[in-house]
Amino acid sequence: MRVFVPERWLENTMKNEDKICLLSRERMKQISGSSGFQTALATAALLIMGNLNALVDYFLHPDIPYFDQGHLIVGAATSFVSALLFGVVLIHARYLSRALSTIRTMEKLLPICCNCKSVRRADADPAERESWQPIEAYITETTASRISHGICPECVKKLYPELALKL
């Protein structure tokens, strides 16, 4: 495949080739991750799997007709089992993709105030007051977790000494 590249891009050939390869890799990731591509790939694989018995017999046993009743039954059963397996694999792959996305979200460096424990949004200006949010709000926005407040025994002793004596 030929890619049109303007001459001004060719000043530093090695870096530009790397950029073109990177762009094509990113585009391939987008295409292979799309549901339409996955559906087309699964459909093509099902058609091949369903006709595999008939195709083998077509070349090895030309005297057996392609649309033989045995081929149709075996092809239908093979397609059904293959569809179930592809479905399970696809569901598992999407589950793993969501888990990886969650892990990547949680792995990034979290800018947090050392005093009030507010979290700064990654794309916001640290000097603006609106860019900081309570850690509880951040966790509920970025994860599926819900926050429940409580108080630990050490804080009960420090903040409520009269209750600490009763416990």
pLDDT tens per residue, range 19-61: 555 556 666 666 666 677 777 888 888 888 888 888 888 889 8
Is the pLDDT at 106 greater than 80, yes or no? no
91 vs 9: which has the higher pLDDT: 91
| CA neighbor of 108 nearest in space, from 122, 96, 119 | 122
Element (H, E) at 118: strand 118-120
Residue 155 lies in a domain: yes
35 within some domain: no
Confidence band of 62 (pLDDT split at 50, 70, 90) = confident
Asked, for residue 154, whether it belongs to a domain, the answer is yes
Mean pLDDT on 97-120: 81
Whether 156 is covered by a domain: the verdict is yes
Q: Would you say residue 143 lies in a domain?
A: yes
Q: Which two tokens stand for residue 78?
A: 């093979």
Residue 14 lies in a domain: no
Residue 133 has what DSSP assignment?
E
Residue 66 included in any domain? no
Sequence-ordered list of residues with C-beta below 8 angstroms from that of 82, at least 6 positions apart, any chain: 45, 46, 49, 50
Q: Does pLDDT of 14 surpass 50?
A: no
Domain count for the chain: 1
Q: Residue 105, SS3? A: helix
Give residue 162's domain range: 110-167
Query: What are the pLDDT digits (tens) for 117-157?
Result: 888 887 777 788 788 888 888 888 877 788 888 888 888 88
15 φ/ψ sector (left φ>0, alpha ψ -120 to 50, else beta): alpha
> Is 127 part of any domain?
yes
| pTM of the predicted model over 0.85 | no
Of 141 and 18, the one with more pLDDT: 141
pLDDT of 92: 92
Contact assessment for residue 66 and residue 54, using Cβ atoms and an 8 Å cutoff: yes
